[in-house]
Structure 1
């Protein structure tokens, strides 16, 4: 993972083998959702019971554009479901839950961007490179969104200039957020 990854152990010693397993699990999550910004994983030993097995709680916070997804998992009825519940059992359950939550988040993004009435927001063209078929729009949050000439819905791409006000719909593209359904804002008539 090229993104920040924080791993913490509480009430137990840190373990290089557990850290390696956590990194592999996070890499797997990142393959499912390439826009993962960061991840924090906390592993905590809740009880020290040598005869019946220790119970561990795993907290995972996935940072995605615009929000954090949190998973907190102590194996539910661990001693009933598993003969010898251990930290790896808790980790496996937590990462499965994180994967489900990430898939649900991706599904909601797809649902939001495919709605026919997706809400257009205002922005400003900040860059159109001469001879290229794309440009960038400055959003109201101060970020820049890529848009392609095919995204311009009224008028011609060639008629757009830096500083032009536009309305657009933000969608999740294969390389990150992009502006689609770009249309120019007509200047208000002076009365």
Structure 2
């Protein structure tokens, strides 16, 4: 006689319910992930739009800065050789034109102005190939005592004043670097 064995195929009722429950949970997670993905895509699209807006705004500001710099250069050139000094907005302004100006004459005018305010003196070392070389008689005062804004204004005053001469394009400052000022070549 032949015995026939019947093997159960598939899952039992408990296993079937467990798998259905896991499938339902997976579908819910998938739905939540799809919602999160849609939300993130919307945010990415909004950020991309914002980046484009910022690029346009940056380009407009760059063009405006370019126009202002051009205007400032033309103004400075038209004013001619002059004594420049930092104004109320911490920007150098021409105080007055100087007839028959020379680097020595301009430095003397600056030093008179600086002395009246208790600031260090500028020492003109020389002018060569369009570059004026200067030292500072009290570099510690410049680099340690005047603050960053004061030191910047001082350097700008010297640079703008000497660069107002047609033959000078830059000023080399020679002093020991400190907390508020760095030596080097400066231009208008």
| Higher Rg | 2
| TM-score scaled by length of structure 2 | 0.27
Higher RCO (C-alpha 8 Å, min separation 6): 2
| TM-score after normalising by structure 1 | 0.27
Bigger strand fraction? 1
Higher helix share: 2
